[in-house]
A and B are shown apart, each in its own frame.
Chain A
Amino acid sequence: MRSTDLSSPKRLAPMRAGLTIVEVVVALSVLVVAASIFCQTLLSTARVRQLNRDNALAADAARVVLERMRNEPFLEIYKGYNEDPKDDPGGNGTGPGHLFDVAGLEPLDGAPLGKVGRVTFPSMAVQVTASSGGGGKKPLGGITDGGTTTVTEWHLREDVADEGLGMPRDLNGNNVIDTANHSGDYLVLPVRVRIEWKSGVGARRFDIVTQLGDFRKEVEP
């Protein structure tokens, strides 16, 4: 019969200082969690920085559009910047129009003409029917039916419901809110410059709403 001598040095496993598998797993888990938190912090900082840059770009672009509007003769601002290219002061399609680009900002999917910026006035599209007979001026871009032509015009209206623009309100200073087109006699012009773009955290929007006015009287000669 073989005897087993447990006290023999040959039988003992050598004692080595080390870590158990549980300790290693716990340590690695802590390291991974710490590293992921650190990386997330870095990423979110970079994202916030990018958002701030985009916001600054949008704010500056919107302000520049308003500055360019102020550079126009007051009663030509609406015609130059509205949706209708036919009434541009310098001729059909010569105005800057209601859409604009901003370098460095990516337009949203489905943005009109792929532009990020849009200028809005209290205006609405109106179908106007005019007689095309005789020697009168022929309207641009109309649909002719018999002796009449139907064209779409954009009218500056006092009765537009747009709370953000402070509408409805009197635009020509006669103390009446009516349904007429005031594109030629406004004293106050509410305007919204909106920029919408695609960012790392989804769709973003920046609005400036203001009212342009020209209250300076021309000096009588």
Chain B
Amino acid sequence: MSCGRKRRAAFTVVEVVIAMTLIGLVLTKLTLVMDEARRAHQEESISMALDDQAMELMDKIAFAIVGSSAESLDPTPAAPFYSGTIHYQISLGVEDGKAVWSDPEVIGLTEDSGQVYWGQNVGAADERIVVWANTVSEMLEDELLNGVDDNGNDLADELGLAFVLDEKAVTIRLSLERERDGGKKIQVTKETTVTCRN
């Protein structure tokens, strides 16, 4: 005698729905985690690249100022004032018992393009200008254009590159920034002090 239709083992609709819901949840969570990890990795990479760039730039600026004469520095702002540009002359050595000074040099910030430049004989026929970096923040980290000191460094509304003079010592503050995917800005800030040796 025939048994009728053969029964086959299979999942019920409810089981399939539950399984698919769980798989969907897991996949969604996994995607979120992966996306977060990718963003974190990108942030870290940008931060490290900016860090390297900031250290290299700081070394260049510090090295230039260390070899200069304190008397040649211009302007000479003391806190709470600052300058985004500094003019100086470095010592080239001694000739016939007299110090020999270089042509006038300048390190400054172009505010509209975020560029730090080094210049020699600026305005003269043999002018030389080299851009050292182009990722400088408009304002120093945590500073807003509101007339007060937002980041607690005794300066108000300082730009992304700021020089402050204290006798022969120059304190240099620098913020670099870059955007990652999604528009979030990554900032790196460095501060150092150097004393003119000449």
- Say yes or no for A68: interface residue by CB 8 A criterion: yes
Residues of A contacting B167 in the complex (Cβ-Cβ under 8 angstroms): 71
B148-190 near A? 1/0 per residue, CB < 8 Å: 0000000000000000001111000000000000000000000
A60 to B191, CA, bound (A): 9
A68 to B169, CA, bound (A): 7
A70 within 8 Å of B (CB atoms)? yes
Which listed residue, A56, A60, A64, A71, touches B168 by the CB 8 Å rule?
A: A71
Among B168, B192, B193, B194, the most chain A Cβ lie within 10 Å of the Cβ of B193
CA gap between A70 and B55 in the complex, in Å: 22
- Tell me the residues in window 76-90 of chain A with beta carbons closer than 8 Å to chain B beta carbons: none
Check B195 for interface membership: any CB of A closer than 8 A: yes
> Does A71 lie within 8 Å of B195, measured CB to CB?
yes
Q: Is the interface of B mostly helix, strand, loop or mixed?
A: strand
How many A-B pairs fall under 8 Å by CB?
21
Interface size in chain B (residues, C-beta < 8 A) = 10
Q: Given the complex, which residues of A lie within 8 Å of B194, measured CB to CB?
A: 67
A64 contacts across to B, CB distance below 8 A: 192-193
Q: Which residues of chain B from 10 to 68 have any CB-CB distance to chain A below 8 Å in the complex? A: 55
Shortest B62–chain A CB gap in Å is 9
Question: Quick one: CB contact mask for A32-76 with B, threshold 8 Å, 1 for yes?
Answer: 000000000000000000000000100010011001101100000
Q: Kindly list chain B residues whose C-beta atoms are within 8 Å of the C-beta of A63.
A: 192
- B192 and A60 contact, CB distance less than 8 A: yes
Q: Contact: B192 with A70, CB < 8 Å?
A: no
Chain A nearest CB from B101 CB (Å) reads 17
A60 and B168 CA atoms in complex are apart in Å by: 19
Shortest CB-to-CB span from A40 to chain B, Å, is 17
The CA of A63 and the CA of B195, in the complex, are separated in Å by 11
Whole-angstrom CA separation of A60 from B192 in the bound complex: 7
* Cα A67 to Cα B167 with chains together (Å): 12
- Chain A residue numbers with a CB within 8 Å of B192 are 60, 63-64
Report the nearest B residue to A103, measured CB to CB: B191
Complex contacts, A56 vs chain B, CB 8 Å: 55
- Closest B residue to A65 using CB positions: B193
**Nearest CB in chain B: distance from A189 CB, A:** 15
Please report the C-alpha to C-alpha distance between residue A67 and residue B166 in the assembled complex, in whole angstroms. 12
Q: A178-194, CB under 8 A of B: which get 1 and which 0?
A: 00000000000000000
B22 to chain A, nearest CB (A): 21
A selection of 21 A-B contacts at a CB cut-off of 8 Å is A56-B55, A60-B192, A63-B192, A64-B192, A64-B193, A67-B169, A67-B193, A67-B194, A67-B195, A68-B169, A68-B193, A68-B195, A70-B168, A70-B169, A70-B195, A70-B197, A71-B166, A71-B167, A71-B168, A71-B169, A71-B195
Chain A interface (Cβ < 8 Å from any Cβ of B): 56, 60, 63-64, 67-68, 70-71
